[in-house]
């Protein structure tokens, strides 16, 4: 059976506001036209403001929850810095796991406690960065770990504008594995150069265009030409170093 619905003849509405901004409107309807109570009219402003503050707080909490979930999912260290108080206002789990501090310990410290730079210098750098975000592209330095050791890192920085003021967002990456790889390559290169220097044979390297880029061996000269004179030149451009087939083909 269809239900009979009484026609709506009256409506009462008022805005929901927070910090001078309207977030929505509450609407009350009735089947009768009624004169609003004066006490209700005087109270709706306060009620709308309280509801607005509540909704704004809930939205802010949800935004922070999503932001934190995104931060904690990152493999990079993410640190939010208040440049006025020179304190960390938030860090992700990667920071705590990598540096060894608890989140509570991190929020009691500032960048001057972890970086080899004084507070005043950092504050000047942050002020300049906020004024001109293009003034700082990145940073290579080292954090002080909880056990007293240091961790080399590279980072990018951004200015995040909030209702409370600007924040500095530092996204840092542990570069110890990369530095170890580079050091191993240098050591390997040095050992290789040492071995070629002891070789009784003449040694050389050429690029894709057959230019000499390195020479070595026990014999420092070849055909009366020193090693340095080979660099940047091709075999057929030097006397005594023109093996068969190394010169460019003749043009008919």
Q: Residue 168: which of 158, 177, 176 has the closest Cα?
A: 158
Averaged pLDDT, 227-246: 63
pTM above the 0.85 mark?
no
pLDDT at 185 over 80: yes
pLDDT at 10 over 80: no
Q: Map tokens 């949800």 to a residue.
A: 62
Q: Residue 105: which of 119, 95, 115, 116 has the closest Cα?
A: 95
Q: Residue 85: which of 116, 109, 117 has the closest Cα?
A: 109
pLDDT at 20 over 60: yes
pLDDT at site 1: 46
Please calculate the CA angle 144-148-154 and round it to the nearest 5 degrees.
Answer: 25
Averaged pLDDT, 187-212: 71
pLDDT at site 21: 75
**3-state secondary structure at position 16:** strand
- Token couple for 249: 């083909």
Cα–Cα distance, 49 to 149 (Å, whole number): 52
pLDDT at 52 over 90: no
pLDDT at 99 over 80: yes
Query: Average model confidence (pLDDT) for the chain?
Result: 76
Within 10 angstroms of residue 141's Cβ, the number of other Cβ atoms is 15
Q: Answer with the residue of higher pLDDT: 193 or 106.
A: 106
Q: Residue 81: which of 106, 110, 122 has the closest Cα?
A: 110
pLDDT at 101 over 90: yes
Beta bridge partners of 25: 15
- Token couple for 95: 């920071």
Beta bridge partners of 77: 172
State which H helix or E strand residue 126 sits in.
Answer: helix 119-131
């Amino acid at each position: 059976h269809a239900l009979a619905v009484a026609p709506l003849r009256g409506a009462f509405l008022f805005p929901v506001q927070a910090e001078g901004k309207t977030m929505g409107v509450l609407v009350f309807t009735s089947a009768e036209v009624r004169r609003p109570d004066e006490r209700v009219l005087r109270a709706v402003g306060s009620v709308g403001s309280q509801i607005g503050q509540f909704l704004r707080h809930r939205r802010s909490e949800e935004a922070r929850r999503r932001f934190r979930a995104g931060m904690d999912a990152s493999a990079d260290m993410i640190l939010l810095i208040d440049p006025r108080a020179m304190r960390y206002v938030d860090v992700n789990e990667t920071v705590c796991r990598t540096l060894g501090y608890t989140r509570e310990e991190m929020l009691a410290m500032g960048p001057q406690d972890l970086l080899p730079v004084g507070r005043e210098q950092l504050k000047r750098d942050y002020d300049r960065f906020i004024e001109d975000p293009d003034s700082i592209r990145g940073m290579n330095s080292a954090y002080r770990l909880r056990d007293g050791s240091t961790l080399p890192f590279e980072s990018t920085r951004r200015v995040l504008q909030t209702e409370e003021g600007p924040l500095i967002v530092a996204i840092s990456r542990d570069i110890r594995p990369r530095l170890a790889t580079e050091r191993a390559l240098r050591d390997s290169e040095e050992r290789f150069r040492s071995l070629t220097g002891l070789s009784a044979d003449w040694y050389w390297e050429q690029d894709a265009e057959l230019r000499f880029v390195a020479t070595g061996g026990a014999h420092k000269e070849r055909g009366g030409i020193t090693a340095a004179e080979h660099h940047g030149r091709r075999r057929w451009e030097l006397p005594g170093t023109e093996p068969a087939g190394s010169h460019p083909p003749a043009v008919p």
